[in-house]
């Protein structure tokens, strides 16, 4: 139970304008810049990994630099389209069914990671088949840099004062402008740290120092299970979407439901990667 003293003890929310800058009538938001920064920096790191053939199976990178340059557009479309459709179907279907125009109102709810994950996966499958690229190695390449996008995206959520946490009395709790008077967990920063920074460091170390990319699917499995585990953990501190609330028992959320299968899938992919032989890798 939060006391009156807890309300006054809350850390002040840094009032950062969600609009990074404006060019005439065009307003550029931090959220959009987060997507651009995540994709561009991820692209640069992916190119660096491709320049190191000794990291890959049989000393051969799965794609050329030109191919990965072309791939950026495909994965960007997959992430954005899948993320928006995922939010609609997983979190806001009733509202969109009642008012279809809401589907394009990205300021009314935003993007779903799980939807973006599905969209990006479909884009990778199509691109790999079209260019005859080893699919699991392409998965690994993308998975190794995805946490960058998550890091920037969650920081943008924090700047926007959205997707805040549950009421809390921890010393770093803060009252968000749209979250009522109660101090809350800054759960966006928890996610930025775990899903973003920590997972990025772990995957890059495994890829560069421990040869994880030489076992196609290993980085992918660790990413999928690692992201899902971090998401489930943070969901215990994050306020559920208001239109859904708790699905069961005052603790189960849609984020947990969507992430649990990912843990199992990630473990399966990891185990599968250890059973591959050089003749069957791909």
Q: Which amino acids are annotated as binding site, given as ranges?
A: 154
How many CB atoms are closer than 10 A to CB 119? 23
Nearest of 149, 146, 124 to residue 62 by alpha carbon: 124
Nearest of 236, 233, 229 to residue 262 by alpha carbon: 229
Contact present, 127 and 74 (Cβ < 8 Å): yes
Calpha distance 153→162 (Å, rounded): 11
How many CB atoms are closer than 10 A to CB 251? 11
Calpha distance 30→123 (Å, rounded): 25
Calpha distance 96→91 (Å, rounded): 10
Calpha distance 36→80 (Å, rounded): 11
Contact present, 202 and 222 (Cβ < 8 Å): yes
Characterise 246 by phi-psi region: left (phi > 0), alpha (psi -120 to 50), beta (else).
Answer: beta
> Vertex 76, ends 68 and 235: CA angle to 5°?
120
């Amino acid at each position: 139970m939060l006391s009156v003293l807890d309300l006054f003890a809350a850390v002040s929310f840094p009032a950062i304008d969600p609009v990074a800058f404006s060019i005439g009538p065009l307003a550029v938001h931090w959220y959009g810049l987060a997507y651009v920064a995540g994709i561009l920096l991820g692209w640069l790191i992916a190119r660096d990994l491709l320049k190191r053939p000794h990291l890959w199976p049989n000393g051969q990178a799965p794609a050329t630099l030109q191919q990965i340059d072309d791939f950026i557009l495909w994965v960007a479309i997959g992430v954005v389209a899948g993320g928006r459709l995922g939010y609609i179907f997983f979190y806001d279907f009733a509202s969109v069914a009642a008012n279809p125009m809401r589907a394009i109102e990205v300021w009314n709810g935003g993007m779903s990671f799980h939807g973006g994950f599905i969209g990006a996966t479909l884009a990778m499958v199509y691109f790999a088949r079209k260019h005859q690229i080893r699919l699991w190695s392409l998965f690994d390449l993308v998975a190794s840099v995805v946490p960058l996008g998550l890091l920037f995206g969650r920081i943008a959520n924090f700047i926007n004062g959205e997707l805040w946490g549950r009421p809390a009395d921890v010393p770093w709790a803060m009252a968000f402008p749209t979250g009522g008077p109660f101090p809350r967990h800054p759960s966006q920063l928890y996610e930025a740290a775990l899903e973003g920074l920590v997972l990025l460091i772990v995957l890059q170390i495994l890829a560069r120092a421990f040869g994880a990319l030489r076992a196609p699917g290993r980085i992918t499995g660790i990413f999928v299970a690692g992201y899902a585990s971090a998401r489930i953990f943070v969901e215990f501190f994050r306020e559920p979407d208001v239109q859904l609330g708790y699905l069961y028992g005052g603790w189960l959320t849609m984020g947990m439901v969507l992430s649990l299968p990912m843990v199992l899938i990630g473990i399966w992919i990891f185990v599968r990667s250890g059973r591959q032989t050089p003749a069957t890798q791909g």
